[in-house]
Structure 1
Amino acid sequence: MHQVEWPVPAMIGSASPALIHRLVRSGEVCQQSLESMLVVHALKVSSGHSVLNLSAANTCLTSQILRHLNGTGLCVANYKEERRAHSSFQDLSELGMCCVPLLVTVGDPSTAEFGQTFDRVLCDVRCSNDGGIRQRPLPTWSSKSAQDLQALQVKTLRSALRHLRLGGRLVYATTSMNIVENEHVLEQVLSEGAFKLVEVQWGSRSDLKQFEHFAFPGIGQGMEACVRISPTAGSETAEQLGAAFFATLEHVQHADSVGAASSATKDLLGSSGHLHQAWFDNDSSSHTDEVKYFFGMDACTPLVCPVPWLVSLFVSQALPTSFVGVAIVNVGLPLARRGKSNTLQICNEGAVAAASISSLRCMDLSKADFRSLLVRRSIQVEMADGAAVVKCEGLDLALAADVSCGSLNILTTSEVAARYTEQLDAELGFSSQVAELEGAEEQLSSGQADAYTIAAPLDAMNSTDGRHFLVVNGLRYCVPYERWDHAVLPREADGMKLVAALSRFVRDAQGQLHDEAWWIEFCDAGRVEIEERTVADRALRRLEEDEAVALSSGNGRGGCFRQGVAAEQVCGANMRVKYLGHVHERCIRAELPKVLAGTDRFLVVDKPAGLPSQGNKSGVLNLEGVLASMGYRGLHIAHRLDQPVSGVLVLGRSTTQQKNFMDEAVEKQKTYVARVWPPLASSPMTCSEPVGWDGERATCSAAGGKASITHFRALSEAFADGTQLVECRPVQGRRHQIRVHLAFLGSPIANDRLYGGNFAGEESGELFAFEDAEGVLAQAFAAAHQPWCPSCAWTRQVLAGAERKPVVHGGIWLHARRYQVPRFSLDVEAPLPSWASGPCPAVVQV
């Protein structure tokens, strides 16, 4: 981690906002305003000090304090809002500063009692913020707001002074410039005695002395030691500064008591490197045995709760017996937590410490093997299922992991993996520009090596969840596999025999209905199960029991299913059925998507034409499945892009980010390029016809259509073949909106036959499925053949030439060129395809 404590204004000024954001998110830079950094300098924090940040508002000041403590002493960061406390703790974790001497609490700064005094106290109080006018012109402010806040500020400052040790130092800070919130507050408190103002010493550091030009003394008699930062125009530093006020106070004491306070502090701290485990939580749990096993603890060792933290001896003295009006969010370096399924999960923040404590569940890897694991994300191991830690030999690098069925998977973000990979590249002498992967057919591009876009190489991921891919003659196939599918029988099935209801209402994975004889064989083979409770019963039980218990089952899909169902079983209304079918997915074009960009929330790819992004949700022959096979797992498509269309497509890294992106309130600017015939008019035009859907294609119709607006403009003169490039900017995202609007204007996409395009050539041409000259497909499909599966029989006939081979269509001349989402700082552009540069060969007008 490289923290820039005193950033050079020229460097920050020349960096783009996107670069600053990436550096902050990666933990390499802690972004902070210049004037606020002076506050911690005035506090004079040193190793071994105990520091209270009484009214913490963000991560920056706390991270600066922790850096000065250098892993010793104690820092208590108290937040008024629990949301901010958790957010700050997360930010500190990403910065790599979620370290041992940190204690994060939630409490009212004006009333909180911590039961001890501190060497240093920071009192950054809530204020009217009228000093922020440089950043926010015309701020909302009135003299009444300052007067109303003064009482709260005096109360908070008094609370801070109560926690200041004899001889200790306190800094009172605001971002206001009026004397009501600054000097007048100090006058009230100083009149009570015991404390005095002291001057700030700028020292000889050049990066600090530059601020002397912007620092002015306080206003009023006895306030000369206060500091007012009031930047003036004329220098680059001034443009970086906002106004601020701070004053340094010391607890007045006699000379003989100073040493006593210092020695007492040293006794309490003990050895600066001494650590011990604290098992701190008020909840009860049934996982104590799992925790004891992982950390190699004696079974008789008493635990308050199996949530382990590694804390300093000083922090342990402060744990919550002496706190009043304070809730604890974090007590140090977290070692483990309970995961989503309530199982033990190691925290990456404390993985290095956990590896040193636990020898039973820790795996040591060489630097080369650790680097390979970072890229591939998983390895095969001989270890029992459960939480684990992987440590790199010779370096303080460790990652949390999970072992399941002999596969160890690391639990970390692509960002962290990329940062560790870069560090290991330097150790091993590898080039940071190209990832040379042992046994890989393809090297990762520089774009894929980005912190948010790194993935496992393709050859290391030739299957997804046991579903194997084959690429033959430009098409991608998935070997048939078995899958449990679910169906809810309609009310009409009430009282019917099970096989009769199944034959009438339930289709297999290929969408086919089957007769009763077929379903009788399925039932006899144990491939059908029914739910013991109806949907109505489950709804009633949710009112009586906890939902998590009500929906739990051995198969993990909710409800309680019964095996060994008889074909003569009588159905009930809304009964839920699950059946083990044989899945044959339609083959797709083999071209892979290219990664364009990534953030911590989204991945943006250039989707090739012919690769479906919608449909086949349970399968793997779609965009999400192909990306998963490339190492990009857990992605969720955030917007529509038709199968024959190429270009920019955004995927969320979680369903939450997917929903955030799809929110209609989020402004999106989409730019497409199309090749049309005949040409459009040279002047820009707009089509605002409502768009509906007739079941097969989009239509422009006011009856039942939804409001749709698309802006068009010609990008070039007509090519020699009469076609023309057109820019398309849809305001909405209706299905086939651009295609149907161009057809309505009389200039359809030239090779879009569905909407009247009269050019025959599809992009990349048509391909025939199951072309298998070398017998690769025949061998793979024969191994997966099921005699009762009609699709297996049909596939065998196609491969033998007895049935007509299906046609796999190519793309149309429509390309998503650019996607802009200002709220999420996304502005991604995809390269133009070859057809956008002029007439294409083998294109014939029909």
Structure 2
Amino acid sequence: MALVTASSADKLPPKRPDTFENNFEEPPPVVITPCDPWPPPYYLEDGLRKVTPYHFTYNTYCKERWRGREILDIFASEFRDRPAEYYEKAILEGRVVLNGKPIPSTTTIVKNGDIISHTLHRHEPPVSARSIGIVHEDDDLIVIDKPAGLPVHPAGRYNFNSIIEVIRADRGLGFNPLPCNRLDRLTSGIMFIGKHRQAAEDMSAQIRERTVKKEYITRVVGEFPEGEIVCEQPILQVSPKLGLNRVRANGKDAKTVFKRMAYYPPPDGIKEVEHAENADYDHLAWKRKRGYSIVRCFPITGRTHQLRVHLQFLGHPISNDPIYANQRVWGPNLGKGQSEAEDDEDIMTRLARMGKEDIAEAVAYHDEMVDEYNKRKAEKMTGQTCDICDTPLYSDPGTHELGIYLHARRYRCETGKWDYETGLPDWALPPPGMEGPTVPVAESDPLAVDLKKLGLEDGLEAPQAESPNLVESRTVASAAA
């Protein structure tokens, strides 16, 4: 497949001898996608939204951390989608080009301002076929209930299977959805989509300025403590390639308040893993013995994976989190209280195996207790390759891999101008035979966390006299360090 270049009406003026302009070169042509199918080649199968494979060209300017590095080193270290051997072959065969021109060697150095283009036969992972819910819509905004497992923006292996492209496909090619906030791919819940740029900028500014109060609902391993649990541990991105973030003293400031909504102890008499055809990972014996808690989360800051990392640090990771609640990666204590870098390499090595040699479980588990039914259904390499591009093919993900137990339940303007919320997700409702809350909370204001009392508002000093619950909560967070 040949690459094509965009025509340009804007050219630099002709070079004149003996002038300063003679030192400049005309910018390189921009490589554009030779095949961008419309309408998107969606089809629904077995409860999944799938995309027929198609050709696509990625274009990206050289990032700062790529400057002065070899082209193959950049691809091999930054992108997990394909092995290094694939990228080496793609460079040598001309499927990866630099500034629109073939690359002479895999050791070619990338410089500031370079445009890297990669044309490939794109295989998108399937996502849930669940529709995007509309919470509110007016002339400026669409407030949606994002399904779990669907990324917001096209990125990595996902393009048409993203919030932006699904909405565009539903409303027409000319519609330009503008996300105002972002949720992790595996997270569900409230998102704001601007219908025009000014509306998107106004809402984004409110969120950045922390004038919006947020509440998330999650389901975590074990009996979460009562009271207002404050975690103020800084968070550092350890591996962009693996999406791994951890508590580190040199990380960015991060603050979260947690409050337990319900605890469901394990049923009596559960001693063994159940192996029914409709079994799911909730039947793992070790987890059933610990029970689980439904927890309300109030993020004061907005760091990547903040809630997931803070809950892991406190010893109560999200029950089916594929990164932070996996015993094969973190060991029996699931990373509780860990804040040192000494085991980073081991953690990244084990995490990188998930979905390659090992099953890409979205769950914590003991090796000998993996439910065989779900193990067969989990997404992993099948050993087969695409007839067109030799890309290794994956099996379909199981339902347990399409999201995690984390839901953005409510966003509210602190001045009272607007307030949007959803109900509780199914996984947050009481299990059969047990009593518990079926509505978000019994309090008059679900977001009534007194930040001033907790000393967490910007510019406020810590309170002189703290409540017993707060003292106990901060002790929990610091003792784990």
TM-score in terms of structure 2 length:
0.54
Q: Relative to structure 1, is the Cα distance of residues 467 and 750 closer, same or farther in structure 2, using a 3 angstrom cutoff? A: closer
Candidates 676, 690, 706, aligned match of 2:252: 706
Distance in 1 of aligned mates of 2:116 and 2:305: 35
* Alpha-carbon contact 1:603-1:651 (below 8 Å) kept: yes
Distance in 1 of aligned mates of 2:303 and 2:258: 16
Q: Is 1:484 aligned to 2:61, yes or no?
A: no
Q: What per-residue deviation string (whole Å, max 9, x for no partner) do you get for residues 618-642 of structure 1?
A: 7111222222222274113222322
Letter paired with 2:426: S
Distance in 1 of aligned mates of 2:57 and 2:219: 44
* Alpha-carbon contact 1:510-1:584 (below 8 Å) kept: no
SS in 2 for 1:630: helix
Q: Is 1:838 aligned to 2:430, yes or no?
A: yes
Deviation at 1:840, TM superposition (A): 6.3
Q: Relative to structure 1, is the Cα distance of residues 502 and 790 closer, same or farther in structure 2, using a 3 angstrom cutoff? A: farther
Q: What does residue range 780-799 of structure 1 map to in structure 2 within 5 Å?
A: 786=388, 789-791=389-391, 794-795=392-393
SS in 2 for 1:689: coil
Distance in 1 of aligned mates of 2:304 and 2:103: 44
> 2:313 is matched with which residue?
744
Letter paired with 1:723: Y
Q: What does residue range 193-204 of structure 1 map to in structure 2 within 5 Å?
A: none
* Alpha-carbon contact 1:715-1:726 (below 8 Å) kept: yes
Distance in 1 of aligned mates of 2:234 and 2:263: 29
Q: Relative to structure 1, is the Cα distance of residues 584 and 720 closer, same or farther in structure 2, using a 3 angstrom cutoff? A: closer
Q: Is 1:583 aligned to 2:130, yes or no?
A: no
Q: Relative to structure 1, is the Cα distance of residues 834 and 724 closer, same or farther in structure 2, using a 3 angstrom cutoff? A: same
Deviation at 1:610, TM superposition (A): 2.0
> 1:730 is matched with which residue?
299
Deviation at 1:679, TM superposition (A): 2.4
* Alpha-carbon contact 1:510-1:583 (below 8 Å) kept: no
Q: Relative to structure 1, is the Cα distance of residues 673 and 481 closer, same or farther in structure 2, using a 3 angstrom cutoff? A: same
SS in 1 for 2:171: coil
Q: For structure 2, which runs of at least 5 residues remain unmatched after alignment?
A: 1-8, 10-35, 268-290, 326-333, 335-362, 434-481
Distance in 2 of aligned mates of 1:572 and 1:718: 55
Candidates 594, 598, 601, aligned match of 2:137: 598
Q: Is 1:631 aligned to 2:165, yes or no?
A: no
Q: Relative to structure 1, is the Cα distance of residues 487 and 836 closer, same or farther in structure 2, using a 3 angstrom cutoff? A: closer
Q: Is 1:815 aligned to 2:357, yes or no?
A: no
Deviation at 1:579, TM superposition (A): 4.6
SS in 2 for 1:818: strand
Distance in 2 of aligned mates of 1:693 and 1:566: 32
Candidates 582, 602, 616, aligned match of 2:155: 616
Deviation at 1:828, TM superposition (A): 0.9
Distance in 2 of aligned mates of 1:581 and 1:503: 16
Q: Relative to structure 1, is the Cα distance of residues 654 and 822 closer, same or farther in structure 2, using a 3 angstrom cutoff? A: farther
Deviation at 1:829, TM superposition (A): 0.7
Deviation at 1:670, TM superposition (A): 0.5
Q: For structure 1, which runs of at least 5 residues remain unmatched after alignment?
A: 1-340, 342-462, 494-500, 532-560, 773-777, 799-803, 842-846
* Alpha-carbon contact 1:675-1:814 (below 8 Å) kept: yes
> 2:213 is matched with which residue?
669
SS in 2 for 1:484: strand
Q: What does residue range 379-398 of structure 1 map to in structure 2 within 5 Å?
A: none
Letter paired with 2:247: C
Letter paired with 2:236: G
Candidates 188, 194, 202, aligned match of 1:652: 194
SS in 2 for 1:485: strand
Distance in 2 of aligned mates of 1:595 and 1:761: 37
Q: Relative to structure 1, is the Cα distance of residues 597 and 464 closer, same or farther in structure 2, using a 3 angstrom cutoff? A: farther
Distance in 2 of aligned mates of 1:710 and 1:683: 13
Distance in 1 of aligned mates of 2:194 and 2:49: 24
Distance in 1 of aligned mates of 2:253 and 2:89: 49
Deviation at 1:728, TM superposition (A): 1.6
Deviation at 1:830, TM superposition (A): 1.1
Q: What does residue range 479-518 of structure 1 map to in structure 2 within 5 Å?
A: 479-488=52-61, 492=68, 505=74, 510-513=81-84, 514=86, 518=90
Q: What per-residue deviation string (whole Å, max 9, x for no partner) do you get for residues 249-268 of structure 1?
A: xxxxxxxxxxxxxxxxxxxx
* Alpha-carbon contact 2:145-2:188 (below 8 Å) kept: yes
Distance in 1 of aligned mates of 2:154 and 2:215: 24
Q: Is 1:684 aligned to 2:228, yes or no?
A: yes
Deviation at 1:473, TM superposition (A): 1.6
* Alpha-carbon contact 1:509-1:581 (below 8 Å) kept: no
Q: Relative to structure 1, is the Cα distance of residues 683 and 620 closer, same or farther in structure 2, using a 3 angstrom cutoff? A: same
Deviation at 1:577, TM superposition (A): 4.7
> 1:827 is matched with which residue?
419
Q: What does residue range 329-340 of structure 1 map to in structure 2 within 5 Å?
A: none
SS in 1 for 2:402: coil
Candidates 449, 458, 474, aligned match of 2:47: 474
Distance in 1 of aligned mates of 2:75 and 2:320: 38
The one of the two structures with greater contact order (alpha-carbon pairs below 8 A, sep at least 6) is 2
Deviation at 1:584, TM superposition (A): 1.8
Letter paired with 2:194: G
Letter paired with 2:150: L
Q: What does residue range 238-257 of structure 1 map to in structure 2 within 5 Å?
A: none
Distance in 2 of aligned mates of 1:519 and 1:657: 42
Deviation at 1:770, TM superposition (A): 10
Q: Considering only aligned residues, what root-mean-square deviation do their CA atoms show, in Å?
A: 4.3
Distance in 2 of aligned mates of 1:603 and 1:751: 29
Q: Relative to structure 1, is the Cα distance of residues 677 and 516 closer, same or farther in structure 2, using a 3 angstrom cutoff? A: closer
Deviation at 1:566, TM superposition (A): 8.9
> 1:252 is matched with which residue?
none
* Alpha-carbon contact 2:321-2:364 (below 8 Å) kept: yes
Candidates 258, 262, 267, aligned match of 1:716: 262
Letter paired with 1:597: H
Distance in 2 of aligned mates of 1:706 and 1:581: 36
Distance in 1 of aligned mates of 2:138 and 2:415: 13
TM-score in terms of structure 1 length:
0.32
SS in 2 for 1:641: coil
* Alpha-carbon contact 1:676-1:723 (below 8 Å) kept: yes
Q: Relative to structure 1, is the Cα distance of residues 509 and 675 closer, same or farther in structure 2, using a 3 angstrom cutoff? A: closer
Letter paired with 1:736: H
Deviation at 1:588, TM superposition (A): 1.9
Which of 1 and 2 has greater Rg?
Answer: 1
Distance in 1 of aligned mates of 2:166 and 2:418: 23
> 2:286 is matched with which residue?
none
Question: Which protein has the bigger helix share?
Answer: 1
Q: What does residue range 92-107 of structure 1 map to in structure 2 within 5 Å?
A: none
Deviation at 1:672, TM superposition (A): 1.4
Deviation at 1:769, TM superposition (A): 5.5
> 1:327 is matched with which residue?
none
* Alpha-carbon contact 2:134-2:143 (below 8 Å) kept: yes
Q: What per-residue deviation string (whole Å, max 9, x for no partner) do you get for residues 729-758 of structure 1?
A: 111122222223233333333333623485
> 1:405 is matched with which residue?
none
The count of corresponding residues between Structure 1 and Structure 2 is 315
Q: What does residue range 742-781 of structure 1 map to in structure 2 within 5 Å?
A: 742-752=311-321, 754-755=324-325, 756=334, 767-768=377-378
Q: What does residue range 415-564 of structure 1 map to in structure 2 within 5 Å?
A: 465-488=38-61, 492=68, 505=74, 510-513=81-84, 514=86, 518-522=90-94, 531=99
Identity, % of aligned positions = 25
